[in-house]
Structure 1
Amino acid sequence: MAKALLGIKRGMTQVFDEVGNIVPVTVIESQPSVVVQKKTVETDGYLAIQLGFGEVKERRVNRPLRGHFARAKVTPRRYLREVRVESVDGVNIGDEITVAIFEPGEEVAVSGISKGKGFQGVVKRYHHHGGPKTHGSMIHRKPQSAGATDAARVFKGTKRPGHMGHERVTVRGLRVIRIDPERNLILVRGAVPGPNGNLVMVRGD
């Protein structure tokens, strides 16, 4: 069984470990993820499983997806995500994956969409130092030079103002602190990407 599941970030809190130290944790609520599809080398060219998460009313799903869920004999799901695996042996369509696949002390990688920051300058976006603050300086937070004059253009990848955030981010090496199978909760040490209510994927690291 693939060590991966989908969940919703519920927020951060703190718990005490065995010796009384405070540990900052992120609470991830993960209702059972269901296997909707298996992808094999023979049919798709690679090995993966497709997970469905979050039940939704059938009328909220378009007709192609209704057929997709009907073939898998599972109820419609709000989210579908693929997970690459080394083998699909032992994985059956309709299997449910719960937080019980992880154990306290295990390291995981959490992926999600980071918070969007809108259009930002280079000081906030790339942590540029900025210009002088006094003596009539007019370049306090400007990007300043964009490149050499003989090139007569700005090279791709030059750090410029633009849209910041709202991109897929993966944080690795987060340790599982606590598992609550009854409430479908998993507590991991540290912060994970995105705002509260964000969809995240938790995988074995």
Structure 2
Amino acid sequence: MKGIIGKKIGMTSIFGADGKQTACTIIEAGPCVVTQVKTEDSDGYTALQLAFGDKKEKHSNKAETNHFAKANTPAKSFVKEFRDYSIDKNIGETVTVDIFAEGESVDVVGTTKGKGFQGVVKRHGFSGVGEQSHGQHDRQRAPGSIGGSSYPSRVFKGMRMAGRMGGDRVKVKGLKVIKIFADKNYILVSGSVPGHNGSIVLIQK
């Protein structure tokens, strides 16, 4: 496995050599500093810990400051472990967007936009009643019946009802790397990526 931490910049479109337009997402990926190398002997598993995004020293506690000092890097905002990293890196080294190549497929993990408390039509795609008859009113977006009364006398877990929507960790698989701008640490992947502009995403292979 290989991966990098990035920040979603926004969306654009790219025209290929055949004139076909492809919608893609711009991600500022890295540079990430290797802040810890975990091995089978010391930790029971192999992993690489990457850090991304600068953070003010006054906003870091002593433990964080000392941890980053081992890698000779200032405090960072985001830290993430990548299991079984396929590229050999030592503590203090940098991982850049060059680990990916144009044309290969990657998986992107992000947190979806929070929508707040939503009803069943927006949250689950219910269609509502559709027509008004026999004195019905304000029922177009109602959920309808949710279960029995005397039996089972409760609402089953997982019932599709109104509630908080969004803010979920989502992985989008099989996105194609369209273009890489190594000088700006930009990577363009096809399609959409979960999260708002400026949110942190993980790019994995």
Judge same fold: TM > 0.5, yes or no.
yes
**What residue in structure 1 maps to residue 145 of structure 2?**
145
Structure 1: gaps spanning 5 or more residues: none
CA distance in 2, matches of 1:131, 1:199: 40
Q: RMSD across aligned C-alpha pairs, in angstroms?
A: 1.6
CA distance in 2, matches of 1:191, 1:123: 23
Name the SS of the counterpart of 2:70 in structure 1: helix
Deviates more, 1:19-28 or 1:41-50: 41-50
**What residue in structure 2 maps to residue 168 of structure 1?**
169
Corresponding position: 1:187 with 2:185: no
Matched-pair contact (CA < 8 Å) for 2:180–2:188: yes
Structure 2: gaps spanning 5 or more residues: none
1:6-64: CA deviation from partner (whole Å, max 9, x where unpaired):
11111111111111111111111123111111223333333222110012222221111
Corresponding position: 1:96 with 2:94: yes
Q: Per-residue deviation at 1:69?
A: 1.0
CA distance in 2, matches of 1:18, 1:170: 30
Q: Map 1:1-205 to 2 at 5 A.
A: 2-85=1-84, 90-135=88-133, 136-138=135-137, 139-149=139-149, 150-204=151-205
TM-score relative to the length of structure 2: 0.92
- Which letter maps to 2:148? A
1:73-112: CA deviation from partner (whole Å, max 9, x where unpaired):
322111111112266x822111211111111110011111
Q: Percent same amino acid among aligned pairs?
A: 45
Runs of 4+ in 1 over 3 A off after TM superposition: none
Matched-pair contact (CA < 8 Å) for 1:131–1:137: no
Paired residue total: 202
Matched-pair contact (CA < 8 Å) for 1:52–1:78: yes
Matched-pair contact (CA < 8 Å) for 1:14–1:22: yes
